[in-house]
């Protein structure tokens, strides 16, 4: 084909304005606006979307791409089908390639940048970088590109990225149904010594009186991808002076190496913790970001780079999330600590930094508990705290689980909270944003879902898949039981046992002949929950303390081994086999509860092998509990070996399996679920995890036993819930505050399946 004219296909960045967004994409048009405002933008050009469209048309694949794209949007929740469709669409784009006439125009514009120019090739899809949808980081960006062949290959890779599963899912979730098209920005590379992002409003609070700047050494990829913890600077717009500076730990930087390839350079401790930006550089970046906002007329998300003393803007787009934030604190409320938002809610109070649970009596009612990390022995202290902040931990750590159930706002993984927050200082903890700010911020009064029953006039969704709850303590049993729930799918023993032990190791009680006290207290706690939910099932998971948690109890050092990795150490089923006298106390307590409430079942956690479960079940059978009629015996599916052994477990009398998605994910992917450093690797939706879950559910269906999954993913990730429903799971178990959401999501998935079956 013959190209119609140069400007139909290729335009210099300096010639573009926001009015060209349809042809140049959001990224290309925004860069043109920056150039028009005389802001420092690296030189370059944009391949307009007709380069893509006409190349696909010339290659004879446009009609098939359109049909496959519509099918992909309809099947975005089916991971396997979506992956297959995306591979087919990307193959078609690669087959069509870049039309010959358009190739000549691209290379002509490239050569005008200079011989052997090293460029960044960045996707600029229609609908990208707008005020309503950012597509941030979803389509391809290829850096350090040089040479004619390298450039054409990078352009083709950008076009192919239109059809990745994550882009299709994002388009479907935002209601974008038209055929996508791709413009491509080609810009001279800035060999940056420092780089990062600058927001002209605080994206976490919505405050528009400040610029939030994140910075790291080397190329900016380490900031936008979250590979390092950047410095964070908050600068006043009125007078570009820093309001707050937090230095991050930049363990490495990425630089352009020989041949234009990116190279990772490790930084020593002093460099890693050193400040990135000087005062002058900070002011320069803030002023450029403010100028961008003034030119575009709305808050901006910009990317910048510093090379040879010059600061460049390499991207700008409207901030897409400000409309969804709650009212920000006033400027006087400086951010003192940030971490992972683990339990929602806002609470103000005085800080109390504690090192051990034995210091718990120092915390006064309503103070903010700050600790390096918590274990179950902290429970009495957490109950009295207005909020909880920890240095370490992830979204599924002990602190997060307990705080969510108690309705205590919680932030985990702040890394330096115990150093940055000081006893007696009044602060406000925002558990939804993951921030601790100075001073007192009065929240809007709210009542947690766990504290209020579903109103009688509101009819809950009816689902074939049962919706259970996870519980750990009896305090909220009656309120939660009043909700539209089908029972308790996971009753954790650890926290009730901690209170029953009063901080002592169970063997310390046995040594003093006080084991009956332990049994009585467990009967009281479990019995209260069982009675509240009767006749609905309550599945009690036997104690699954790890050795490091047991050692924290009084006398624990005498009885507990020291393990380097207690997460996969002496715990669960194997421990019961080796310490049958302790296990017998739990079985006795359950037997007494079931005399009044036969709706209680037993679940054995962390089962690794057939022989240990065999021995464990023989202990159950020999106990008063095992001799009771109608006892349901479950296993937790946390260890990947359950995929192989489950048929034989069922043959031994197991009639229920509950997938512990937190432990199963960490063991399939090899990532510590409590690590804030590796948080982005922890993904229950990873294909390997979903495959293991699918095999467990399939086996349960084959042998006619109950299958369940306990975790938050079914309520927070609709696609994950749909996977479970399609697999045929019989129930899910979620935290009390997620019941309504989980039921709505599951009901929608079941309706889609019925509609598909009716076609």
Both structure tokens of 240: 């570009």
Q: Are 381 and 369 in contact (CB under 8 A)?
A: yes
State yes or no: pLDDT of 494 exceeds 90.
Answer: no
Both structure tokens of 559: 């009885």
State yes or no: pLDDT of 324 exceeds 70.
Answer: no
The CA distance from 207 to 322, in Å, is 9
The CA distance from 465 to 328, in Å, is 40
What is the SS3 string spanning 280-298? Answer: HHHHHHHHHHHHHHHHHCC
State yes or no: pLDDT of 448 exceeds 90.
Answer: no
Name the band, by pLDDT with cuts 50, 70 and 90, for residue 468. very high
Q: Are 407 and 431 in contact (CB under 8 A)?
A: no
The CA distance from 231 to 240, in Å, is 17
Both structure tokens of 549: 């948690």
DSSP state for residue 631 in the 8-state scheme:
-
Between the alpha carbon of residue 276 and those of residues 194, 211, 217, 245, 677, the distances in Å are 7, 17, 7, 11, 21
Active-site residue, from 398, 410, 505, 616: 398
pLDDT at 718: 66
pLDDT at 135: 45
Q: Identify the H or E element spanning 46.
A: strand 44-47
pLDDT at 74: 82
Both structure tokens of 52: 């893509």
pLDDT at 81: 84
pLDDT at 245: 86
For the segment 201-226, what is each residue's pLDDT rounded down to a tens digit? Answer: 876 566 788 898 989 999 887 776 55
**Strand 435-438 relative to strand 426-430: parallel, antiparallel, unpaired?**
antiparallel
pLDDT at 320: 55
For the segment 499-540, what is each residue's pLDDT rounded down to a tens digit? Answer: 788 778 899 999 999 999 899 999 999 999 999 999 999 999
State yes or no: pLDDT of 487 exceeds 80.
Answer: yes
pLDDT at 209: 84
Between the alpha carbon of residue 306 and those of residues 150, 218, 287, 660, the distances in Å are 25, 9, 14, 47
For the segment 110-132, what is each residue's pLDDT rounded down to a tens digit? Answer: 999 988 888 989 888 764 434 44
State yes or no: pLDDT of 32 exceeds 80.
Answer: yes
Sheet (strand 231-236) strand order: 242-246, 231-236, 210-217, 194-199, 300-307, 310-318
327 versus 488: which is more confidently predicted?
488
- Give backbone dihedrals phi and psi of 121, rounded to 5 degrees, phi first: -115, 115
Torsion angle (degrees, nearest 10) of CA 753, 755, 756, 759:
160
Q: Which residues contact 489 (CB under 8 A, 6 or more apart)?
A: 468, 469, 470, 539, 658, 708, 710, 731, 732, 733
The CA distance from 110 to 118, in Å, is 10
523 versus 403: which is more confidently predicted?
523
Q: What burial class does residue 192 get, using C-beta atoms within 10 Å of its C-beta: 0-12 exposed, 13-18 middle, 19+ buried?
A: buried
556 versus 80: which is more confidently predicted?
556
- Give backbone dihedrals phi and psi of 386, rounded to 5 degrees, phi first: -75, -30
Largest CA distance in the chain: 93
For the chain, give the number of residues.
Answer: 759
Active-site residue, from 86, 397, 573, 710: 710
**Looking at residues 403-430, what average pLDDT do you find?**
87
Q: Are 496 and 475 in contact (CB under 8 A)?
A: no
Q: Are 636 and 604 in contact (CB under 8 A)?
A: yes
pLDDT at 102: 94
* Mean pLDDT for all residues in the chain: 85
% of the chain exceeding 90 in pLDDT: 45
% of the chain exceeding 70 in pLDDT: 88
Helices (H), 10-99: 21-36, 49-58, 62-74, 79-96
Q: Are 423 and 403 in contact (CB under 8 A)?
A: no
DSSP state for residue 652 in the 8-state scheme:
T
Look up 710 and say whether it is catalytic: yes
395 versus 553: which is more confidently predicted?
553
Name the band, by pLDDT with cuts 50, 70 and 90, for residue 329. very low
Q: Identify the H or E element spanning 565.
A: none
For the segment 647-700, what is each residue's pLDDT rounded down to a tens digit? Answer: 999 999 999 999 998 889 999 999 887 666 776 787 888 889 999 999 999 999
Please, what is the angle between helix 687-703 and helix 642-651, to 10°? 10
676 versus 191: which is more confidently predicted?
191
For the segment 570-622, what is each residue's pLDDT rounded down to a tens digit? Answer: 999 999 999 999 999 999 999 999 999 999 999 999 999 999 999 999 999 99
455 versus 536: which is more confidently predicted?
536
**Looking at residues 727-747, what average pLDDT do you find?**
87
- Locus of tokens 């999954």: 709
Between the alpha carbon of residue 203 and those of residues 47, 319, 321, 322, 564, the distances in Å are 31, 8, 7, 6, 40
Mean pLDDT check: name the lowest of 69-73, 150-154, 456-460, 683-687.
Answer: 456-460
Mean pLDDT check: name the lowest of 76-80, 162-166, 178-182, 628-632.
Answer: 76-80
For the segment 237-253, what is each residue's pLDDT rounded down to a tens digit? Answer: 887 788 888 888 888 88
Q: Identify the H or E element spanning 126.
A: none
Question: Which residue from 658, 661, 750, 636 is spatially nearest to 713, judged by alpha carbons?
Answer: 661
pLDDT at 226: 56
Question: Which residue from 213, 201, 202 is spatially nearest to 275, judged by alpha carbons?
Answer: 213
Q: Are 752 and 723 in contact (CB under 8 A)?
A: no
674 versus 101: which is more confidently predicted?
101
- Map out the domains of the chain with their CATH numbers: 6-188 (3.30.1490.20), 194-324 (3.30.470.20), 335-438 (3.50.30.10), 461-758 (3.20.20.60)
The CA distance from 149 to 155, in Å, is 10
**Looking at residues 710-730, what average pLDDT do you find?**
81
pLDDT at 674: 66
Best mean pLDDT range from 314-323, 431-440, 515-524? 515-524
pLDDT at 684: 83
State yes or no: pLDDT of 630 exceeds 60.
Answer: yes
Look up 69 and say whether it is catalytic: no
pLDDT at 624: 93
State yes or no: pLDDT of 266 exceeds 80.
Answer: yes
What is the SS3 string spanning 411-448? Answer: EECCCCHHHHCCCCCEEEEECCCCEEEECCCCCCCCCC
């Amino acid at each position: 084909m013959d190209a119609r004219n140069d400007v139909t296909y290729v335009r210099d960045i300096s010639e573009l304005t926001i009015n060209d967004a349809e042809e140049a994409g959001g990224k290309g048009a925004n860069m043109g606006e920056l150039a028009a405002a005389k802001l420092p933008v690296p030189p370059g050009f944009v391949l307009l979307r007709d380069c893509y469209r006409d190349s696909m048309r010339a290659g004879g694949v446009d009609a098939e791409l359109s049909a496959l794209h519509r099918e992909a949007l309809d099947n975005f929740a089916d991971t396997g089908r979506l992956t297959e469709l995306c591979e087919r669409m990307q193959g078609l784009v690669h087959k069509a390639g870049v039309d010959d006439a358009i190739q000549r125009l691209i290379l002509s514009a490239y050569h005008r940048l200079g011989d052997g120019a090293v460029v960044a090739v960045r996707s600029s899809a229609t609908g990208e970088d707008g005020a309503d949808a950012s597509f941030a980081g979803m389509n391809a960006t290829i850096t350090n590109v040089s040479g004619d062949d390298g450039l054409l290959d990078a352009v083709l890779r950008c076009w192919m990225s239109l059809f990745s599963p994550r882009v299709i899912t994002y388009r479907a979730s935002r209601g974008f149904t038209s055929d996508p098209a791709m413009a491509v920005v080609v810009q001279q590379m800035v060999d940056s010594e420092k780089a990062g992002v600058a927001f002209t409003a605080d994206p976490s609070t919505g405050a528009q009186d400040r610029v939030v700047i994140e910075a790291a050494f080397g190329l900016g990829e380490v900031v936008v991808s979250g590979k390092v913890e950047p410095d964070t600077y908050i600068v006043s717009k009125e007078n570009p002076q820093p309001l707050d500076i937090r230095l991050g730990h930049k363990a490495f930087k990425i630089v352009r190496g020989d041949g234009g390839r990116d190279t990772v350079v490790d930084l020593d401790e002093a460099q890693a913790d050193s400040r990135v930006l000087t005062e002058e550089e900070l002011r320069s970046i803030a002023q450029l970001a403010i100028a961008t906002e003034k030119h575009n007329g709305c808050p901006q998300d910009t990317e910048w780079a510093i090379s040879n003393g010059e600061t460049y803007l390499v991207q700008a787009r409207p901030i897409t999330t400000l409309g969804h934030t709650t009212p920000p604190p006033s400027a006087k409320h400086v951010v003192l600590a940030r971490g992972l938002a683990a339990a929602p809610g806002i609470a103000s109070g005085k800080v109390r930094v504690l090192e051990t649970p034995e210091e718990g009596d120092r915390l006064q009612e309503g103070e903010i508990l700050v600790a390096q990390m918590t274990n179950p022995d902290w429970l009495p202290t957490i109950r009295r705290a207005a909020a909880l902040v920890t240095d370490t931990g992830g979204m599924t750590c002990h602190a997060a689980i307990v705080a969510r159930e108690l309705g205590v706002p919680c932030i985990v993984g702040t890394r330096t909270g115990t150093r940055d927050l000081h006893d007696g200082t009044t602060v406000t903890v925002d558990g939804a944003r993951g921030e601790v700010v100075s001073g007192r911020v009065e929240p809007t009064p709210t009542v947690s879902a766990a504290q209020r029953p579903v109103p009688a006039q509101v009819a809950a969704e009816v689902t074939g898949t049962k919706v259970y709850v996870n519980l750990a303590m009896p305090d909220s049993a009656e309120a939660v039981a009043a909700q539209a729930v089908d029972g308790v799918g996971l009753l954790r023993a650890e926290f009730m046992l901690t209170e029953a032990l009063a901080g002592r190791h169970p063997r310390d009680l046995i040594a003093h002949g006080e084991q009956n006290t332990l049994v009585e207290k467990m009967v009281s706690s479990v019995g209260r929950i069982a009675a509240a939910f009767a006749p609905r099932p309550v599945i009690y998971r036997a104690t699954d303390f790890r050795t490091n948690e047991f050692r924290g109890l009084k006398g624990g050092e005498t009885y507990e081994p020291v393990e380097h990795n207690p997460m996969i150490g002496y715990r669960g089923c194997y421990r019961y086999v080796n310490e049958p006298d302790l296990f017998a106390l739990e079985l006795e307590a359950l037997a007494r509860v079931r005399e009044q409430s036969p709706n209680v079942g037993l679940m054995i956690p962390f089962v690794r092998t057939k022989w240990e479960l065999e021995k464990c079940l023989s202990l159950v059978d020999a106990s008063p509990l095992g001799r009771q009629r109608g006892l349901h015996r479950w296993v937790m599916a946390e260890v990947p070996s359950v995929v192989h052994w489950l048929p034989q477990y069922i043959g031994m009398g197991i009639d229920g399996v509950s997938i512990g998605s937190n432990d199963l994910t960490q063991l399939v992917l090899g990532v510590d679920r409590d690590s804030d450093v590796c948080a982005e690797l922890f993904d229950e939706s990873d294909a390997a995890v979903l495959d293991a879950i699918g095999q467990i559910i399939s086996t349960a269906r084959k042998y006619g036993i109950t299958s369940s999954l306990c975790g938050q993913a079914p309520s927070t990730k609709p696609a994950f819930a749909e996977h479970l429903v399609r697999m045929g799971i019989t129930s899910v178990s979620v935290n009390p505050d997620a019941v309504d959401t989980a039921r709505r999501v599951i009901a929608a998935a079941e309706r889609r399946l019925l509609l598909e079956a009716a076609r």
